[in-house]
Amino acid sequence: MSPAEVQSLVEEATFDYTMGDHDAALAKLARAAAAAPDAFEAWHALAEINFSLRRFDAALAAADRALALRPDDLFINTTLSRIWMEKGDKATAEKYGAQAKILSWKDQLKNPESQKGSL
C-alpha cells in the first residue's frame, strides 16, 4: 500500500468516525496499520479513536507504536498523557505531559513567526 493510499484510508476512517461509524473507522485504520506498520498517522488515529471510545488498553498499544515511530511528536506525547491519566497513572501522565510541553517550547523557539498574533 502506497503512502498516499494509507493517508486516504486514514482520512476515510476519520470521516467514518465523525459520522458515528466507529467499527468501520477502526477496521480501516487496522488495515492501514497492518499494510504500513510505519504509518504514524494510522497508529495515532487508532490511539485517538480508541481513547474516545474509552478503550484505553487498545489506545495505549496504538499510541506506543506511534511513539516508537516519532518520539518527538508533540501530539502523540499529549495523547499518551491523556491515556495514562484515564488509566489512573498520574506520574506517567505527567511524564508525557512534560515531554509534550518541552516539544511545544522547542517548536516555538524554532518558529517564532508562528507565535505572532497569538499573544
For residue 12, what is the enclosing H or E element? Answer: helix 3-18
Residue among 30, 73, 80 at smallest CA distance from 51: 80
What total number of domains does the chain contain?
1
Q: Tens digits of per-residue pLDDT, 55-81?
A: 999 999 999 999 999 999 999 999 999
Q: Which residue has the higher pLDDT, 6 or 116?
A: 6
Mean pLDDT in the chain? 92
CATH number at residue 57: 1.25.40.10
Boundaries of domain holding 23: 3-115
